[in-house]
Amino acid sequence: MKFAILGSGAVGGYFGAKLARAGQEVTFIARGAHLEAIRKSGLRVQSAKLGDFEVRAGAESDTAKVGPVDVVLVSVKAYDNPTALPMLVPMIGPDTVVLTLQNGVDSVNEVAAVAGEGHVLGGTTYVATALEGPGLIVQTGVHRSIIFGEVFGDRSLISPRVQAIADVLATADIQVTPVADARVPIWDKFVYLVAFSGFTGASRLAIGHVWKYPQVQEMFYATSREIAAIAKAEGVEISGDRFATLKQYMDHIPPTTRSSLLIDLEQGKRIEVEALQGAAVRRAQKLGVPVPITATLYAVLKAWESGPVKS
């Protein structure tokens, strides 16, 4: 398959590199020093547990030079959507699939507004990677999963196009799970991520420093229940065992784990507060669902949306 990676940083760059190593035709959409490094020296992935590798692949900043592809993976930060998503248009042909792996629950609709609902698949990913420098992605841990499926139209069965893409992803050593209704895994992750990013971001601490307090744990799970209530009001039933699996995960999470939102805060970057806490609050207000903890986290983090606050 012919892939384009819109957002070739820590997540998109990692999965694009895996696909390129497996022999798929991949073009990375990048800019600046990262683009030049990929063009000059290739894209390197360092993984202490899975092994290091390097790939050579096409890299462009202008998607008009790429043209239509089979699959576009969208993995830019959600706050970049206004400028990034119009770049999809030159890469969309009659049968192109646009698979968004962005955080939050708004992405599929935002992508569909540009690409058209018929082209869009939704998904989520669990992977611990960081862009450590131009052309260099560092992976910690071994998770490298993508869960995806249809979000518009028929969601009764896994569609043929979802299965076909899943088969290709699997050949690239990606832990892939095709599903009939992608809204479920998207909201399953949202239930966790709003709370996790909110508590680590608001405290400016890795999870271990706050998780030792029972009150924090209680408020964390209460936040997740607020998000689950929004999903239910929207007609999406999260996985029946979601809170059991969430507790199991949180009980064993490495204490040094930081959310990507916290990492961005620490690095003085913009944060995805609008795609996470903001999106939850707006949907809750529209549906009449009370979310007092989520609203508080949103209020605390909102001032940092654009980076460091200047006095």
Question: What percent of the residues of the chain are helix, what percent strand, and what percent coil, each to the nearest 5?
Answer: 50, 20, 30
Share of the chain above pLDDT 70, in %: 100
* 252-260 average pLDDT score: 91
| Domain of residue 162, residue span | 2-181
Q: Share the mean pLDDT of the chain.
A: 97
pLDDT for residue 296 is more than 80: yes
Note the pLDDT of residue 141.
85
Helices (H), the chain: 10-21, 32-41, 81-84, 107-115, 160-171, 183-203, 207-211, 214-233, 242-252, 260-266, 279-287, 292-302
With respect to residue 253, please indicate whether it lies within any of the assigned structural domains.
yes
Question: Would you say residue 245 lies in a domain?
Answer: yes
Q: What is the pLDDT of residues 169-205, one digit of tens each?
A: 999 999 999 999 999 999 999 999 999 999 999 999 9
Does 310 fall in a domain? no
Q: Output the domain CATH number for residue 32.
A: 3.40.50.720
Long-range contacts of 107-110 (CB under 8 A, 24+ apart): 107/74, 107/78, 107/81, 107/275, 108/151, 108/152, 108/182, 108/186, 110/81, 110/85
User: Is the same domain home to 274 and 216?
Assistant: yes
**Last residue within a domain, chosen from 129, 147, 181:** 181
Is pLDDT of 17 > 70? yes
For residue 97, tell me if it sits in a domain.
yes
| CATH number of the domain residue 253 falls in | 1.10.1040.10
311 within a domain of the structure (yes/no): no
Query: What's residue 51's pLDDT?
Result: 96
Q: What is the pLDDT of residue 244?
A: 98
Asked if the structure places residue 30 within a domain, the reply is yes
Number of CB atoms found within 10 A of residue 187's CB: 22
In the structure, what pLDDT confidence band is assigned to residue 309 with cuts at 50, 70 and 90?
A: confident
pTM of the model: 0.95
* 202 and 172 in a common domain: no
pLDDT tens profile 228-245: 999 999 999 999 999 999
The pLDDT value given to residue 44 = 98
pLDDT at position 66 over 70: yes
- Asked, for residue 140, whether it belongs to a domain, the answer is yes
Q: Residue 310 pLDDT more than 80?
A: no
Hey, what are 273's tokens?
């507060």
What confidence score (pLDDT) does residue 242 get? 97
- C-alpha 282 chain-centroid distance: 20
**pLDDT reported for residue 163:** 98
Q: What is the predicted pLDDT for the residue at 311? A: 66
φ, ψ at 92 (rounded to 5°) = -100, 115
Residues 12 and 149 in one domain: yes
State which of 181, 198, 231 marks the end of a domain. Answer: 181
Q: How many domains does the chain have?
A: 2
pLDDT at 307: 87
Q: Residue 196: what pLDDT?
A: 97
Last-in-domain residue among 181, 196, 227: 181
Rounded to 10 degrees, what is the CA torsion of 293, 100, 185, 174?
-130
108-135 confidence digits (pLDDT tens) = 999 999 999 999 999 999 999 999 999 9
